Amino acid sequence: MSSNLRQAPRPILGEALDRWAWGLGTVLVAIALLLVLLGDHSTVRVQSFSWQGSTVGADNGAFVLTFNRPMDPDSIRADDNLVITPPLPGRISWAGRRLVYTLDAPAPYGEGFTVALTEARDRPRQARCNQL
**For residue range 34-77, what is the model confidence (pLDDT) as tens digits?**
988 887 667 788 889 988 887 777 788 899 999 888 888 887 77
User: Is 0.75 surpassed by the pTM of this model?
Assistant: no
pLDDT at residue 79 in the model: 65
Using DSSP bridges, classify how beta strands 82-85 and 90-95 pair: parallel, antiparallel or unpaired: unpaired
Least confident span in 22-26, 63-67, 125-129: 125-129
14 and 64 co-located in one domain: no
Residue 83 predicted with pLDDT over 80? yes
Q: Are residues 83 and 54 in the same domain?
A: yes
Residue 3 located in a structural domain? no
Residues 61 and 112 placed together within one structural domain of the fold? yes
pLDDT class of 13 with cuts at 50, 70, 90? low
24 with 86, same domain: the answer is no
**Residue at 5 is within a domain:** no
Query: Are 32 and 71 found together in one domain?
Result: no
pLDDT at 66: 92
Instruction: Calculate mean pLDDT across residues 97-106.
Output: 90
Domain that holds residue 68: 46-131
Does residue 99 contact residue 91 with C-beta atoms inside 8 Å? no
Q: How many domains does the chain have?
A: 2
Measured between alpha carbons, how far apart are the two ends of the chain, in Å? 75
> What average pLDDT is seen over the chain?
80
Highest mean pLDDT, choosing among 14-23, 24-33, 51-60, 72-81: 24-33
| Rounded CA separation 46/52 (Å) | 11
118 lies in some domain: yes
User: Is 8 a residue whose pLDDT tops 70?
Assistant: no
Same domain for 17 and 76: no
Domain assignment of residue 107, yes or no:
yes
Whether 120 and 80 map to the same domain: the answer is yes
26 and 74 both lie in a single domain: no
Residues 76 and 97 both lie in one domain: yes
Q: Nearest to residue 56, comparing CAs of 95, 105, 93?
A: 105
